[in-house]
Amino acid sequence: MKKKFLSMVMILTMVMSMFSGVDLWNVSVKAASGYAVGTSVYFGAYYQNFITNEDIIYTLDDTDFNKDGTVTYKGVKYARAKAYGRFHYAKANDSIEWLVLGESGGYYTLISKKVLFMSDYQGFWSESQLRDKLNDDFYNTAFTKNEQKDMKAIVNVTKYHPYNDAYIDKKPAQYIETQDKVSLLDSDEVQSLDYGFDDTDSDTDTRIAYTTKYAGYDEPAVRWWLRGPGGWHYGNMVQSFVSVTGKINTQYFTYSYGVRPVIKVKANSVLLSDQPFDRDKVKNVTNKSNSITLNVTGTYKDGQTKKVLRDTEKYSDGYFTKSSSKIQGGLAKLSMLAASSVYNKNYSNKLIKACKFNKYKYVKKTPKKNNNDTISYEVGIRNVDGTNIVAVWVKGTGGDYEWVSNWNLGKGNTHTGFSIAEEKMYKEIKSYLSSNKVGLNKNSKTKVWITGHSRGAAVANLFAKHMNSVVGKNNVYAYTFATPRVSVLAKKKGYENIFNYLNPGDFVTEVAPKKWGYKRYGVDITLTESKKKSMEKKFKKLSKAKYNGFGVQGKNSLVKAFLKYAGNKKSGYYKKKPNKTPEFFCKYGLGYVLGGQLKSGLKNCIAACKSNNDAKKVMLKMVVDGKVNNKFGFAHTQLGYIAWLDVMY
């Protein structure tokens, strides 16, 4: 008997150390902002497609055009291009498609996806006719006065150097600085991985460009000019360009190559669109928005690896102008970062401040032995053009008495420990918003962004369901991670704006058991199995640790063992087997141990496992897979979810 007692103590001690510092309840696609590198956006308009109105075509055929190939007819400016032996005509109202190269200081750097016109390029960039055309005729044709207000000059330093040693003395290297409203990329920039190009000067698809109909009448890939470096080759001035295969080269003859303009535009410009638009309808639109898009860096401590890690994601007010029922990968990744940072007050405050929420409050709760249905959270307010964005980030369990609440299923339809915590949080948040004059009803201009992880995800899920009835489904954006099941009443219909991300090997997502009728509100999204290897590489790169989480089979094996012990019906959770109930074992055994009450917890676990082999098997599985192999913690830890989302989106 003494040996059995000591054996049980050893097992329980291992279980305790297994979960020490690992929070099992805390560890599991656009508006005109929030654009990733390589995304297409539309801004300005230029000659691109040929008109088809035969009456206008006949009139223009008999009209004398200016030297620059343009003419104004009935107040509309037309340009002409010759192809297949005849002239074709275009007007400057086709919205320009740009590719995002990056964002800095509140401005996007954009390059036209297609070659917009053909031109020669002679001499220094600072003195070239091509630069003059881009910054005068093109600038004033392509962009309205209001669009020009949302643009920023680009500071360029263009290098010129000798390509042949014989001319070093005659032509030393020069660096000429210019400020350009419209520019071109140089050879270094088109080898930038940050801009989405390959870091080589050899052939690559990332630099191949095609023309508009106006520029080249749908010709195959064309050569296109780079701003520099320029230089001299045997006495001749040469310029850099990209070949039809994407290779960087130089040319010292006068040729007409393609032009892909580069501009900088305010990230929050209301004139920047993710869809083609009619130029005539946006001419008089002004940008009075205070909407922002910016990169934010958050800090969090990973539960399994114990590493303090940082992650950079994009915050955008534009997320909350989109349908709340449509997944936005950027918002999902940012939400997971917020759900990870909220475990630490300082980390959470820094992140919400970085997101420009000017009012915020971290509410920390300290659970007690007999008062543990608590929850800590961050709430923030940001006003954008008269609409209040309310952020609610819900913290998961730490090493405290909230562990008892996690096992407090209750005998009603909804998990008691989670629902009591949600009700308290709702009342406090409602009071806080009221004191800040933020309405919380369907007539108020309020958007609610909700996230949480593990226990925090469960409470966030219930809170999002609650908010749907308060402010309306279209105004609630909810992303939860490693989400336990919360209620037998939960359903998807009517809650398509709540997204629950689940690691397929995460045991916590199986609590409370599906077998007992429990579900989650909203849409369950199982992290893509085909991306697992990429996730594991990302995980190792970020943490220097190998991912070793449960797979689906391992998780299901533990679920099966738990149900064999507790029963296939919820009523079994409250039946003595033979001396103590599974509820007693979970709440007052494991709950106390993980909540810091080692002596009482060990005593209660031993009492529950006595003469019950099924309980012992559950314990042994937790020890072997949890402590020895770390499969439980890895499948549930924050970094696993962050890495997985990163390779998915």
Find all residues with CB under 8 Å of 417, minimum gap 6, and list them: 372, 373, 404, 405, 406, 407, 408, 409, 410
pLDDT at residue 6, rounded to an integer: 47
Are 340 and 638 in contact, with CB atoms under 8 Å apart? yes
**Residue 623 corresponds to which amino acid?**
V
Among 438, 522, 430, smallest CA distance to 476 is for 522
Using the 3D structure, point to which of 282, 317, 341 is the last residue of a domain: 282
Q: Is residue 357 part of a domain?
A: yes
pLDDT digits (tens, 9 = 90+) for 394-428: 999 887 889 899 999 999 999 999 999 999 999 99
pLDDT at residue 623, rounded to an integer: 67
- Distance CA(342)–CA(300), nearest Å, equals 8
564's tokens: 């064999």
Q: Is residue 625 part of a domain?
A: no
Q: Is residue 415 part of a domain?
A: yes
Q: Is residue 391 part of a domain?
A: yes
Q: Which of 158-167, 341-350, 600-609 has the highest mean pLDDT?
A: 341-350
- Strand partners for 387: 384
CATH number at residue 26: 3.40.50
pLDDT at residue 86, rounded to an integer: 84
pLDDT at residue 26, rounded to an integer: 37
In 15-58, where do the E strands start and end? Answer: 40-46
Is 230 found in the same domain as 166? yes
Is 278 found in the same domain as 298? no
pLDDT at residue 217, rounded to an integer: 62
Is 235 found in the same domain as 152? yes
Question: Which pLDDT band, with edges at 50, 70 and 90, does 605 fall under?
Answer: confident
Buried-exposed string 413-425: b where 16+ CB fall within 10 A, e elsewhere? ebbebbbbbbebb
Give long-range contacts, CB 8 A cutoff, 24+ apart: 49-57: 49/90, 49/94, 49/212, 49/213, 49/214, 50/81, 50/88, 50/89, 50/90, 50/213, 50/214, 51/78, 51/89, 51/90, 51/91, 56/89, 57/89
pLDDT at residue 23, rounded to an integer: 42
- Distance CA(422)–CA(429), nearest Å, equals 10
> How many other CB atoms are there within 10 angstroms of residue 509's CB atom?
26
Is 315 found in the same domain as 266? no
More confident residue, 231 or 81: 81
Ranking 10-24, 101-115, 339-353, 589-603 by mean pLDDT, the lowest is 10-24
pLDDT at residue 271, rounded to an integer: 87
Q: Is residue 524 part of a domain?
A: yes
Using the 3D structure, point to which of 263, 282, 301 is the last residue of a domain: 282
pLDDT at residue 283, rounded to an integer: 58
pLDDT at residue 626, rounded to an integer: 62
- Distance CA(189)–CA(207), nearest Å, equals 11
**Residue 594 corresponds to which amino acid?**
L
170: pLDDT strictly greater than 60: no
Are 496 and 518 in contact, with CB atoms under 8 Å apart? no
Q: Is residue 328 part of a domain?
A: yes
* Mean pLDDT score across all residues of the chain: 88
Among 456, 298, 466, 290, smallest CA distance to 389 is for 290
pLDDT at residue 645, rounded to an integer: 97
Q: Is residue 626 part of a domain?
A: no
- Distance CA(138)–CA(115), nearest Å, equals 13
> How many other CB atoms are there within 10 angstroms of residue 432's CB atom?
17
Is 357 found in the same domain as 403? yes
pLDDT at residue 287, rounded to an integer: 54
Using the 3D structure, point to which of 282, 306, 341 is the last residue of a domain: 282
216: pLDDT strictly greater than 90: no
Q: Is residue 594 part of a domain?
A: no
36: pLDDT strictly greater than 50: yes
Is 129 found in the same domain as 79? yes
Model-level pTM?
0.62
Q: Which of 47-56, 100-109, 276-285, 494-503 has the highest mean pLDDT?
A: 494-503
pLDDT at residue 29, rounded to an integer: 26
Is 246 found in the same domain as 182? yes
452: pLDDT strictly greater than 70: yes
Is 202 found in the same domain as 265? yes
Q: Token pair 């897979």 is at which residue? A: 625
Find all residues with CB under 8 Å of 330, minimum gap 6, and list them: 29, 30, 34, 36, 313, 314, 316, 319, 649
- Strand partners for 297: 312
> How many other CB atoms are there within 10 angstroms of residue 326's CB atom?
12
Among 44, 296, 84, smallest CA distance to 182 is for 44
Alpha helices, DSSP H only, in 240-328?
279-282
> How much of the chain exceeds pLDDT 90, in percent?
61
pLDDT at residue 351, rounded to an integer: 97
Is 102 found in the same domain as 56? yes
- Distance CA(336)–CA(237), nearest Å, equals 53
271's tokens: 């004139």
Owning domain of residue 459: 2-33+292-553+634-648
Is 528 found in the same domain as 482? yes
Is 114 found in the same domain as 161? yes
- Strand partners for 530: none
The tally of domains found in the chain comes to 2
612's tokens: 């019950």
514's tokens: 């599906």
pLDDT at residue 288, rounded to an integer: 59
pLDDT at residue 230, rounded to an integer: 75
Is 339 found in the same domain as 196? no
Find all residues with CB under 8 Å of 380, minimum gap 6, and list them: 352, 355, 357, 359, 360, 361, 390, 391
